[in-house]
Amino acid sequence: MERRRFFKFGAVGLGLSLLKPTSLMAAESKSKDEDQGIEPIILSTWNHGIAANQKAWETIAKNGLAIDAVEQGVKVTEADVSNRSVGIGGMPDRDGHVTLDACIMDHQSRCGAVAYLEGIAHPISVARAVMDHTQHVMLVGAGAKQFALDRQFKTIKTPLPEVKKEYEKWKKENAAKFEKPVINHENHDTIGMIAMDRHGNLSGACTTSGWAYKMPGRVGDSPIIGAGLFVDNEVGAACATGLGEAIIRIAGSSTVVELMRHGKTPQEACEEAVRRIIAKHQDLTGLQCAFLAINKKGEVGAYSVYEGFNFAKTTVKGTDLVDAGFNRKW
């Protein structure tokens, strides 16, 4: 893997417990886990992960929990108005609506998700609120929006004017292609982030505006626990990016974690998941999918169908942008 150094940092019971905010649990478990020589690590997809990891590291450096770190981290990407594939600057569906998907999962297998959420600035925090304040895992569409409004989440008018302009242009030029939107692999796609904190807790978050010009109602892998993200604190964590339909078909992130459970390294697990995707599809045209994983030892894996996937890796030594291995060239 080729590495590029970017930043250096200074050293720095189901039922009821499901309803208990993780921040409260932090204080309870902290002292027992501290000072055991655990080396924290944050990984996230694509180069927008560099800024997101930097933010997430602020929490990790203060002995905070991975679940808080990943939420804070991916919010940076969601707030970036220049990002066309995540959050408020995201591209719309073919009817001009920006519908956002996100999920989050912590070290106790608590999880929350939202899908098809429109006009809310931080879907990841709504997913976190679903996890912390409801008995459910996933809210979608109008229900998710109502939940967010009830909890006073910040609203935003989407698409942004500049995105709308791009959309209008695309609509004019592609009227005939509505049934088969083309995935844009030049775009730096979904952010999936997985992290291990100083207490050895694993957590992850995933957030996206999905496939540009998707069919109205379409939801990809990103908000689906087990597809776009999966965490098992006994084993490891994985997240995915790329063509969501293909990732869902093999329960991608769950598959990676299960492969690690059965002895594969994170790298072997990501490669096997990609091989499985390739085996299940006869036509691989434009079918880019990638997985990113860590295990409890802090070992890292990343692999994609096509060349070009990279990820940000942050440890006490700083942040690298790392080119992942791949099965084939475009």
Q: Reply yes or no on whether 190 is catalytic.
A: yes
CB of 223 or CB of 301, closer to ligand SD4: 223
- Taking the complex as a whole, the smallest distance from the CB of residue 183 to ligand SD4 amounts, in Å, to 7
Q: Which residues, 6 or more positions from 192, have their beta carbon under 8 angstroms from its beta carbon?
A: 44, 45, 204, 205, 206, 222, 228, 229, 239, 240, 241, 292
- Taking the complex as a whole, the smallest distance from the CB of residue 312 to ligand SD4 amounts, in Å, to 15
Select the residue interacting with ligand SD4 from 220, 236, 266, 301 (CB under 6 A): 220
CB of 72 or CB of 99, closer to ligand SD4: 99
User: How many amino acids of this chain bind ligand SD4 (CB under 6 A)?
Assistant: 12
Burial string for 67-83 (b: 16+ CB within 10 Å, else e) reads: bbbbbbbbbbbbbbeeb
Q: 158-177 mask for ligand SD4 (x: CB under 6 A)? A: --------------------
The DSSP code sequence of 154-211 is PB--SS-HHHHHHHHHHHHHTGGGTTSPPP-TTS---EEEEEE-TT--EEEEEEE--S
Tokens 């027992």 -> residue: 32
Annotated active-site residue in 190, 207, 255, 315: 190
Q: 187-206 mask for ligand SD4 (x: CB under 6 A)? A: --xx----------------
Burial string for 199-237 (b: 16+ CB within 10 Å, else e) reads: bbbbbbbbbbbbbbbbeeebbbbbbbbbbbbbbbbebbb
Q: 223-252 mask for ligand SD4 (x: CB under 6 A)? A: ------------------xxxx--------
Select the residue interacting with ligand SD4 from 22, 125, 208, 267 (CB under 6 A): 208
The tokens describing 66, both together, are: 């991975």
- Taking the complex as a whole, the smallest distance from the CB of residue 242 to ligand SD4 amounts, in Å, to 5
Q: With binding defined as CB under 6 A, does residue 210 bind ligand SD4?
A: yes
- Taking the complex as a whole, the smallest distance from the CB of residue 173 to ligand SD4 amounts, in Å, to 21
CB of 106 or CB of 189, closer to ligand SD4: 189
Using DSSP bridges, classify how beta strands 310-315 and 41-45 pair: parallel, antiparallel or unpaired: antiparallel
Q: With binding defined as CB under 6 A, does residue 83 bind ligand SD4?
A: no
Contacting residues toward ligand SD4, per CB under 6 A:
189-190, 208, 210-211, 220-222, 241-244
What are the catalytic residues?
A: 190
